[in-house]
Amino acid sequence: MFGGTVDREFFTLDVDRCELLWQTRLNGDISSAPITFEIDGKQYVAVAAGGLDRVDDVVRMAGQHRYRGRHRS
């Protein structure tokens, strides 16, 4: 299971043993759910980080509005 904290810690847990397997501090807020993918038999995990303002910028560049009624200051 993957998780994150408000102080930018991103981690994975073994839910059967209630054990922390791995963790790191990201450079920004976690802005999405994590995804996993495999290349040449090796599994990777990716998560967007950098705060919701950065996600808003990307969505805005795509010509869509993710959060209606929310204004960036």
Give residue 30's pLDDT: 83
- Residue 34 CA to residue 49 CA, distance in Å, equals 10
Task: Quick: pLDDT tens for 23-73.
Answer: 999 888 888 888 889 999 998 888 888 765 555 555 554 554 444 445 444
- Backbone phi, then psi, for 41, in 5-degree steps? 80, 0
Instruction: Quote the pTM value.
Output: 0.59
Give residue 29's pLDDT: 83
Helical spans, DSSP H, in the chain: 52-61
Q: What number is the average pLDDT over the span 19-23?
A: 93
